[in-house]
């Protein structure tokens, strides 16, 4: 389908901070890789100490990222990866930071590394899809969202993100279908209402767009997300102008 020149104001979906399970708790899902910090004959206690330091770097990185100190967060995740080059949690969270810094190419590289270690890492598919979408590579984004939905057909964020990708390449019926499904699964999804409102606005259906934005604004306010609450009210005011 021909890509539209209009890039809709879509809320992108990224992988949540620290969402990936620690390797110790996901051993069954992960392919075992030799650790660079533990060779043959090493004292197991030394591995536990090294692993604890990796966790500490990751926790500090997440804390800095949440405070907006992205450069500081990168340094912490880099330190974690120097100690354990196979830390999927460090790669996932570093990918998130790169994405927030709008270095989508680096983010895609880190998410891909996570998927090499664990092809079932749904958070990495979501993060990589969002990065592809930010780069306007909607077919690649949709392919990753499809992979996420194969792993979990009820993953709401995948429907929201895929709906945005469909909209950004001009496939509005597919976008509405995905966002409707997201709202069926979670009738209180502010992001789904916002994105569907964006699609309706692009199609020229002001009444439907305003209804969705009004609901999104209510939900953002309930979530104490004042930034998105105000941004949504601005969209409503714009649509209400003669």
CA 89 to chain CA centroid, nearest Å? 14
In the DSSP assignment, the letter for residue 25 is G
Structure tokens belonging to residue 127 = 């993060």
Task: Give percent helix, percent strand, percent coil of the chain, each to the nearest 5.
Answer: 70, 0, 30
Q: Which of 124, 135, 185, 140 is nearest to 160 (CA)?
A: 185
Q: What is the pLDDT of residues 100-124, one digit of tens each?
A: 999 999 999 999 999 999 999 999 9
Could you identify the residue written with the tokens 């002001």?
206
Q: What is the pLDDT of residues 56-82, one digit of tens each?
A: 999 999 999 999 999 999 999 999 999
What does the domain layout of the chain look like in residue ranges?
A: 50-152, 154-241
Query: What span, in angstroms and rounded, lies between the C-alpha atoms of 129 and 140?
Result: 7
Q: What is the pLDDT of residues 135-177, one digit of tens each?
A: 999 999 999 999 999 999 999 999 999 999 999 999 999 999 9
Q: Are the CB atoms for 146 and 174 separated by under 8 Å? A: no
pLDDT higher than 50, residue 5: no
> Which is the CATH superfamily of the domain at 154-241?
Tetratricopeptide repeat domain (1.25.40.10)
Q: What is the pLDDT of residues 184-242, one digit of tens each?
A: 999 999 999 999 999 999 999 999 999 999 999 999 999 999 999 999 999 999 999 98
What pLDDT, on a 0 to 100 scale, did the predictor assign at position 136? 93
Same fold, 50-152 and 154-241: yes
Domain 50-152, CATH 2.60.40.1250 — does that match?
no
Indicate the angle between helix axes 44-66 and 70-83, nearest 10 degrees.
170
Query: What span, in angstroms and rounded, lies between the C-alpha atoms of 242 and 234?
Result: 15
Q: Kindly state the percentage of the chain with pLDDT values over 70.
A: 79
Q: Are the CB atoms for 76 and 64 separated by under 8 Å? A: yes
Q: Name the H helices within 101-225.
A: 104-117, 122-134, 138-151, 156-168, 172-185, 190-203, 206-222
């Amino acid at each position: 389908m021909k890509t539209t020149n209009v890039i809709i104001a879509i809320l992108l979906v990224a992988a949540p901070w620290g969402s990936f399970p620690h390797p110790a708790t996901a051993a069954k899902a992960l392919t075992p890789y030799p650790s660079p910090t533990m060779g043959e004959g090493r004292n197991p206690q030394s591995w536990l100490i090294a692993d604890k330091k990796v966790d500490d770097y990751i926790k500090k990185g997440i804390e800095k990222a949440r405070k907006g100190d992205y450069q500081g967060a990168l340094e912490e995740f880099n330190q974690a990866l120097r100690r354990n080059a196979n830390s999927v949690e460090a790669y996932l969270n570093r990918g998130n930071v790169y994405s927030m810094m709008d270095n989508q190419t680096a983010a895609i590289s880190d998410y891909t590394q996570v998927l090499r270690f664990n092809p079932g890492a749904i958070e990495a598919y979501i993060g990589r899809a969002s990065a592809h979408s930010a780069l306007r590579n909607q077919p690649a984004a949709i392919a990753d969202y499809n992979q996420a939905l194969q792993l979990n057909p009820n993953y709401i964020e995948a429907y929201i993100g895929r709906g945005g990708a469909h909209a950004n390449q001009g496939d509005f019926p597919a976008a509405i279908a995905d966002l409707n499904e997201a709202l069926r699964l979670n009738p209180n999804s502010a992001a789904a209402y916002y994105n569907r409102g964006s699609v309706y606005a692009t199609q020229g259906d002001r009444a439907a767009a305003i209804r969705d934005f009004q609901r999104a604004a209510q939900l953002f306010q309930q979530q104490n997300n004042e930034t998105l609450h105000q941004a949504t009210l601005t969209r409503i005011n714009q649509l209400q102008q003669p």
